[in-house]
Each structure stands twice: as structure tokens, then as C-alpha cells.
Structure 1
Amino acid sequence: MAPAVKKRGISTTVFENGYILGLDAGNTVIKAVLFDLQGQPVAMKAQDGQSSTPQPGHVERDLNELWANARQVIAGCIDEAGIDAAEIIGVGCAGHGNGLYLLDKAGEPLIGIQSLDTRAAGMAEEISNAKGDALHSLCLQKPWPSQTPVLLAWIKRHRPEIYANTGTAMLCKDFITCKLTGERVTDISDMSGCGLIRMPDCAYDDDLLALYGLSDAKGMLPRLIDPAEVAGTVSAEAAAATGLAVGTPVIGGYFDVVSSAMGSGVVCAGEASIIAGTWSINQVFSDAPAVNDGLFMVSGFGPKRFVNIEASATSAANLEWYVREFVERGAHHDDPFGYCNAKVAEVAPAADDPFFHPYLYGSGQGAAFRGGFYGVAGWHSEGHMLRALFEGVLFEHRRHIEVLKSAGVRFDRAVLSGGGSRSPVWPQMFADCLGVPIFVAEAQETGALGAAIGVSVATDVYGSYEEAIGRMTRRKSEFLPNVAMQSHYNTRYAQYLALIEAMRGFWDSAQTSTER
């Protein structure tokens, strides 16, 4: 028999020893990681999913496949660990923010739109021009293409048959929670991250829905709970499909960037989390939300717990592109990322090094922005090119952090996670450029660990986030700023920003030419 908890009227004894299952559902990969109560991974399984592009700009997924993959990784994780599923204290899921996952009135999948989708770009611009300021005053966010309410408004206008049949509009991890428990719930961290609740109250709001043109959609919104609140328990049907024990508690779960920050050891006001992954995620925790219309978004995850976020798709995805296109061709290297790091380490930084703009996948600064190398000379090697790429990614993180600072958010140290944190050279570059100590978390699956931390709080294994994080996370290494390098980066960062301004006109004209 699975252990229950004291939340929402459920009450039995909690195991002194046991395990917690953390799930991390991204746009492609879903992972299941089993942790012990000290946050150490015991077993892990991952499964890639497939995306489809039925039309240009449309990025969708089959929700039945998503659930099939979730079932597979959960069952595989339990089997690999070789434990009795009744020893699992609870389950928590983190998932990518925004996008749109619709169920019909019977609870069957209608459509799954991922957060890479751009079909609603025109609608986002239309709503932003007409009501952007009013929206920001309520949810601290302005419309953008893959934002959940913008996509729902697009469905209402362009796919009215789907809209009319919609019973529930939810987010990625909510769908998995629903399949595990039968409960249609969502949590405040995800809903605030997609601009669908009033801030700082973290509550649904009729005026907010009206601004999106969704006054009739309130009944589609799932029950709103705290992320560390028990949403329900594993049903008999889900238990048979996954190997979990019937009655195992499942929490509301988290917007993945919040979960990843917690899994890296960050939760208190004034602490910063930098995630160098596909996206450049730069976030600082606070006890009140920053109010600034230049800030990308603010997410709330509990009373006096907010995360101020600046982000864009401008981080390590640029290195992944370089590796895929230039290093892995012909299988020339067994360790392509190690090769790139070694090349960067061979180069001594110089004032005449090339520059790189990390806009291969666009920029929130302008739709026309593109990536590019600049200032390349005949004496520059591949190491110089790669160092320029590493530096360009670093400068874009710094640009986001400067936006956070302009909103009044401050920090004096940061924890770096994501694929970039595993580089032997990037963390020191972050410390030198940002001028603060950079810590690297021990955990690699920080999203799943953050969800497990939430379970430990919900089930009273630990009495608070602070206690849970103190027991379940560890730091692997620390990088202190090299004062001698700070002036080098300050000068080059100013040149990087000036180069952006110099390129704006060209990028705009190039896009116009392409459209013709």
C-alpha cells in the first residue's frame, strides 16, 4: 500500500525511508528519475517524443504518444531500481511552460501545441498593440506567440470547432498529472508563467480573460492549486499502466524553469539561477514580484515566493548547432562537445577576437535578428570561432541579467545549471563576465529533482523548501571571478551591444528582401 500524506484531507504515516519519483516533461524528451530522500538519483529513464509540423510555424505533438512515453519511463525507472512501488512516497512532474494542451469534454485529447509554435505571432502582435499594457498591469507579462492564452485565442478564431469541443485547457505536465490521477488541475507556477492568472495574487481573473478575448473560457481552466499541494492519487488504471502503487500521492507540479532552479539549490529571495540550455534562462527569486514592462515574465510558486525571469532561445542551442553541422559530420569525433571545449581552452583571449551573435533561433529583441560571426581575420582558428560562440552566448545571458537589474532585481552569486554548466571552460567565463561567484550544481536532472523536492514538502518529509533543498541538493564546484578578465569582458560586451545596433538595419532589410 502506498504512503499517503496530510494534505487535502489525506492522512496516513509517511515513510521514514523511501523514494520520490520526479518527472520532467520537455518539448521532446520526457524523463523519470527516482530519488532517495537525500536527493540522490537511484534510477533514470528517458524517452524522445515526436513533433509534427502540419503547417509552417505549427509545432504539435500527439498526446497519446506523450502518455505512452510517460508510462514507459515510469515503469522502466521502477524496474531499473528494483524496488517495491509502494516505497515511492509521491510523484511530482515539471513541464515546459506555455504551449497549449486541450482535452475535450470527455477528457480525451484534442490537440497538443508545443511552446516552439509560432502560428499565433500575428495574434500576439494584435493583442499586444491593443491591450499589452493593460495585460501587463494584471499578469506582469505581455503577449507573445506561444503564450498559452494567445494560442487559445488563436484556436477560438481559426479552429472554432476545436474550441467549441474543448473541456479543459491545460499545460504539458498537467496532462500527465491528469492521466495519473484523473484530476484536471494546474499549478500557480505554470499558470503565472503563461500569463493566465492575476499577479501577485496568483488567482484566475475575469478581467484578464476578457483582455485576451476569452471571457467564455473560464470554465475550461483547470482547478488551480499550489505546486507542492497534492492534486490527487494514482488511479487503478494508471497504476496498471505504469507500475506505480494505487493511491500514491501526485502533486500539482512545476513550471520547469522554477523546478530546475530548485533542483540546482536555489529557492530563497535574492538567489539567482542561470540555466545554459536550449534557452538562456536567467532568474532571480524574490518575496515580491518585480514590476517592469521590460521584463519577460514573473512566476509565482507560493506565498511570497516569486521568480523574475528573463529568457530567450539564445544559449547552448547555438553550440549544439555548431556540433551538429561542423563537428559531427562524418563521425569525426567521439566526444564532439569535449573537442569544442578543448579548442576554446587553447585560445588566449585577445581584444581582436571575433564576435558571435547567438540568434540562430531568433531573438525577443526583433523578429529579423539572425546569428553571425564578425571580425574574423586570417590568423583566427577554429578555437577563436568557438570562443566567439561561447562568448556570444555568455553576453546574451548578461544582457538578460542587465534587464533584471534594471527592474530592481539584485544578486551577488548564482548557480549555473543546464548543459553549459558541464563545460570545463564556460562556468569560469560566466564568473569573469558577470563579476559574481558561480556555483555548479551536483545534480544533472535538476528539473526532475525540483519536482521531487516539491513532493518532499507536500508529504511532510521536510518542513519547508529551504529544509528540503538543504538536504536534497549539493554544489559540485565554485568559480570565482578573475578581476583581470572583467575589464576585458566589459569592453567586449559594450562592443557586442554596439554591433547589435549596427546590424539592426541590415537584418530588417534582409528580412524585407526575403519576404519579397
Structure 2
Amino acid sequence: MGVDLGTQSVRALAVTDDGRVLGRGSAPLTGHREGDRHEQLPADWWRGAADAIRQTLSSLSPSASASATPARGRTRVRGMAVCGTSGTVLLTDARGAPLTPALMYDDGRAGAEARYAQETGAEVWDALGLRIQPSWALAKLLWLTGAGAGVGAKSANGTLQGARVCHQPDFITARLVGRPVPTDSSHALKTGYDLHTRSWPTAVQDRLGLSGLDFPAVVAPGTPLGTVCAEAAADTGLAEGTPVIAGMTDGCAAQLGSGAWEVGRWNTVLGTTLVLKGVTATPLRDPAGVLYNHLSPDGHWLPGGASSVGAGALTHVFPGADLARLDRLAADREPASVVAYPLVSRGERFPFLAADAEAFTLGRPSDDADHYAALLQGVALAERLCLAYVRFLGAPIDGPVTFTGGATRSGYWNQLRADILGRPAALPEQADSALGMAVLAAHAVTGDDAARRMVRIRTILEPRPGAGRRFDGPFVTLVDALERRGWLPSDMATYAREHG
């Protein structure tokens, strides 16, 4: 079983060894957004996760009986793992009870703290090829504690002294096991964890004023954390004793679930926002620090970045609209009469860092269909720029790019993206980060290459002949606009215009 803690919902998936989905469930999540602020309550995550797991177990098909047998009245799951949004963090007490709300992955209030953390630990971050951003958990910890340059909630020397650092999935796995558990190195990365030495940079934490916090032990993704306790079994319907496995971030989970595991393969996760991640033999060095490297369970590296562009812009501009109908209308607007950069929230993180970046549209759309088409095309143009950036850094891109994420429900958008990228696009049968966590759980309990057995590619879309050339002009227009605003560095803009 895999559980994915998203922005708007929790999703769970029960999968067999050969990739057949036996059951699925979901539960909505809500939060508080106001300006740069984006918070959620951890208790809502647990209620959502428990509901999604219960739905998944109750929807198991009759064919599940061969691989999932009852145990003490509950369905036996051989292993489960949990992923969450990268950079989402809160503080808890020693028992795991929340002391603060959760600052979500795109909460942008820690700008001053990010600059302070970058300057204070520059020698460490430079060696790791990292640049601390306001969306990163390390900057948010400074904001929460009031340590360093920021003005946060409480002083680390007061109420929060000794508080435990908790990433989004840590809260769920702790509730499942019944006690605080180690975090995984994937989620720890944006909290400043050193993947090369496999340790927290304690000297930097001391200089930042964070030494009073309890940073969790860190284990590799796929490491057993414990088993489901009696209380969690009662809440979720899982059998007591079910193994709980350390997960990865949602972007890494989608990479696992995409089947794109060979060096040179890349996957884009398009949901509320856009995440691009690939596979390299060695870490990919990025002097700008907007691309970072996760370590995969098999020893390869997973460089990638998360943009604030995404499908969330569609529901923001067209709330409650019939998107399938708008898809049909957009097909006659290639290209749209305007060029859009559809940021979901203020600030951009990849393929450039610009805390003041805002969504924009160049020109006035002629009607709703034109506006909607510009948003679809704008996301795809940003995706094209992200791929150009990884090529700019020297990364190989072999074979089709894999598409995962909720946006793959739109067949029209999938084809449009393949056209604009000018590359084949592979679409797995299950475009869900929860599948990646099921793959990781299977790998942990069986010890074999579960991804090759469990991931099924539904189709490969080829770019339509000549379709991509229609978007060369809008792509250059977007690159020019980003450069004029001072967001996209000139060397990257030049490369994108010539090779993107």
C-alpha cells in the first residue's frame, strides 16, 4: 500500500506484485492561504489518511484474497509507505503532538530566514550544490522558532525548546507506529541534511540558533520504521503489525511510480504545481542551487526541481468549470492569442529562483477559451523551459519523458505537452505518487526490483508532426518576458532561445 499526502487530498492505493490495483481511497484536505501564508493542521492529515486507508481496504476486489489474507478481522497488507509534499514541516513535542501548525511546501514567509540560513552555512551548502529557499523546511524552522534573522512564532529558547522537527509524512508514520520514528533522507534534504556525509550539519545548526531543537534520526528510503500499533489499527482498519516503511517526497514517489528508473530518464509530475525529476549516475551540479539531488534507494541520484507553475492555476481562474468542455474549445486555439505564465502562488523556485515572481498574461485573451488555452500552453511552455535547464546543466535526457500527476486525466493536455516538448511522452496506467510508495514498500519487503514488475505503461504519445513548431514563437516570447523581469538569468535565457 502507498499513501500520498497531497495539497488538496490524501490518496491511498493497494497494489499487487504485478501492478494490479486492488483498492483505492481518498479524502479531502483543506488549509489556510493568505498572501505568502499556507498552513494546514496535522490532525487533518491523520483523519484524511485514516479515511483514505479505510476506503482502500473496503474497496479491495475479490481477487485480493490470494495476496491479502485476513488477520484478526483486518485485511493483511504486507507493507506500506507514505510520501508528502517536500519542504512541509512542523514542530511537535517528544510524543509527536503538534506544537505548531504545518507550514506547507509553498509557504513563502521565510524569505529573510532563507537568506540568513544561506549566508550562515554557505560553505556547507556550496559543497552540496544547494541554495536554501524560502519554501525549504530549514528556513521555515527559523521562522517558527524566531531564531536567526526572522521574526517567528515563539523563541527556540522558550516554549519550543526541545521541540521535535517533523516532516509531513513523519507525522503519519509516527501515528501508525505509535511513537516518533526516524525521518527519511528524501524529506530531510530541504531541512539541511547532508546526503554525502549522511549527517545533520550540527555546526551550522548551532550558528543558526537551532541546536535547541530535536532533529530526528535519518534513514534511507525503504528502511522499516516499525509496525502498525493497536490504536492506529483501530483508526485505519489495517492489521496490527503491518510493516511501515520509510518513504520519499511526492516528487521522488512519482519517479518511482513512473517506471523511469534508468539513467537519462525524466518524469514530470503535474498536479497543483509542476515537479521535474530525472535519474543520473552522479549528482547534477547546479551553481544557481535551484535544482537539488535526492538519493534513490538503488544508489543512483534523482536531480530535480519544483516549479510553482501548475494545474492549480486552472481551478483558480475557472473555479467549478467544466474543464473537459474547455479542453475541447482550447484545441482550436493553438497557439492562443496571448502568452501566460500561470504561477499558482507568488514566487518561483525552478528553473529559476525569484521570490517576487508573479503570474502574468501578455495581452488580453479574446474569451474564456482563449484564456484557458493560454494557461494550458503556459504550463507546457514552462515545462519545456525546465527540461532546457537540465540540458543546460549537462544532464542526459534519453527516451520518452514520463507524465504523472493528476493533470494526466486530460488526454488533450497530455498530447499538447508532448507537442510543445517535442518529445514522446510515456503515460503509466497509474499516474499517482501513491503507486510509487507501494513500489517502495514492495521493494522493502521483497528485496527485488519491484518497479519493473509493478509499473505498467499505458501508452506512449508521439508529438504530432509540425505541431511543436507552432509554439516556438510563444516559447521565445515567454523566455524574453522572464528575462526582462530579471527572473531568468541571461545565460539560461540565451540557451533556451537557441536550444530549448
Which category describes the TM-score, using the shorter chain as reference length?
0.7 to 0.9
Q: Partners of 1:124 and 1:257 in 2: how far apart?
A: 22
Q: In the alignment, what sits opposite 1:11?
A: none
User: Which whole-Å deviations, capped at 9, do the CAs of 1:2-40 have from their partners, x for residues lacking one?
Assistant: xxxxxxxxxxxxxxxxxxx21111234112222222222
Q: Tell me, yes or no, if the aligned pair for 1:139 and 1:197 is still in contact at 8 Å.
A: no
Q: Tell me, yes or no, if the aligned pair for 2:310 and 2:344 is still in contact at 8 Å.
A: no
Aligned counterparts, 1:430-441, within 5 A: 430-441=417-428
Q: Partners of 1:504 and 1:164 in 2: how far apart?
A: 41
Q: For 1:164, which of 161, 177, 180 is the aligned residue?
A: 161
Q: Tell me, yes or no, if the aligned pair for 2:76 and 2:238 is still in contact at 8 Å.
A: no
Q: In the alignment, what sits opposite 1:442?
A: 429
Q: Partners of 2:38 and 2:373 in 1: how far apart?
A: 32
TM-score of the superposed pair, with normalisation by structure 1: 0.83
Which amino acid counterpart does residue 292 of structure 2 have in structure 1? M
Q: Partners of 1:40 and 1:270 in 2: how far apart?
A: 27
Q: In the alignment, what sits opposite 1:356?
A: 340
Q: Tell me, yes or no, if the aligned pair for 2:8 and 2:29 is still in contact at 8 Å.
A: yes
Q: In the alignment, what sits opposite 1:414?
A: 401
Q: In the alignment, what sits opposite 2:372?
A: 386
Segments of 4+ in structure 1 off by > 6 A? none
Which amino acid counterpart does residue 444 of structure 2 have in structure 1? A
Alignment size in residue pairs: 461
Q: In the alignment, what sits opposite 1:74?
A: 53
Q: For 1:61, which of 40, 48, 60 is the aligned residue?
A: 40
Larger displacement relative to structure 2 (230-239 or 293-302): 293-302
Q: Tell me, yes or no, if the aligned pair for 1:281 and 1:309 is still in contact at 8 Å.
A: yes
Pairing 1:24–2:4 present:
yes
* Gap change, CA 1:342 and 1:204, over 3 Å in 2: same
Q: In the alignment, what sits opposite 1:48?
A: 28
* Gap change, CA 1:98 and 1:419, over 3 Å in 2: same
Aligned counterparts, 1:120-199, within 5 A: 120-128=110-118, 130-131=119-120, 133-157=122-146, 158=152, 159-160=154-155, 161-166=158-163, 168-181=164-177, 182-192=179-189, 194-199=190-195
Q: In the alignment, what sits opposite 1:225?
A: 219
Q: In the alignment, what sits opposite 1:96?
A: 85
Structure 1 position 273, deviation (Å): 0.3
* Gap change, CA 1:269 and 1:90, over 3 Å in 2: same
Q: For 2:15, which of 19, 23, 35 is the aligned residue?
A: 35
Q: Tell me, yes or no, if the aligned pair for 1:310 and 1:403 is still in contact at 8 Å.
A: no
Q: In the alignment, what sits opposite 1:313?
A: 308
Structure 1 position 504, deviation (Å): 5.4
Which amino acid counterpart does residue 39 of structure 1 have in structure 2? G
Q: Partners of 2:426 and 2:474 in 1: how far apart?
A: 24
* Gap change, CA 1:108 and 1:360, over 3 Å in 2: closer
User: Which whole-Å deviations, capped at 9, do the CAs of 1:44-77 have from their partners, x for residues lacking one?
Assistant: 2211233246x86443333233222222222232
Pairing 1:373–2:361 present:
yes
Q: Tell me, yes or no, if the aligned pair for 1:264 and 1:415 is still in contact at 8 Å.
A: yes
SS of the aligned residue for 1:33 comes to strand
TM-score of the superposed pair, with normalisation by structure 2: 0.85
Larger displacement relative to structure 2 (199-208 or 235-244): 199-208
Q: Partners of 1:35 and 1:360 in 2: how far apart?
A: 32
Unaligned runs of 5+ in 2: 62-67, 147-151, 488-500
SS of the aligned residue for 1:110 comes to coil
Q: In the alignment, what sits opposite 2:467?
A: 485
SS of the aligned residue for 1:288 comes to coil
Aligned counterparts, 1:102-113, within 5 A: 102-111=91-100, 112-113=102-103
SS of the aligned residue for 2:304 comes to strand
Structure 1 position 221, deviation (Å): 1.8
Q: For 2:245, which of 234, 248, 251 is the aligned residue?
A: 251
* Gap change, CA 1:27 and 1:420, over 3 Å in 2: closer
Q: Tell me, yes or no, if the aligned pair for 2:250 and 2:433 is still in contact at 8 Å.
A: yes
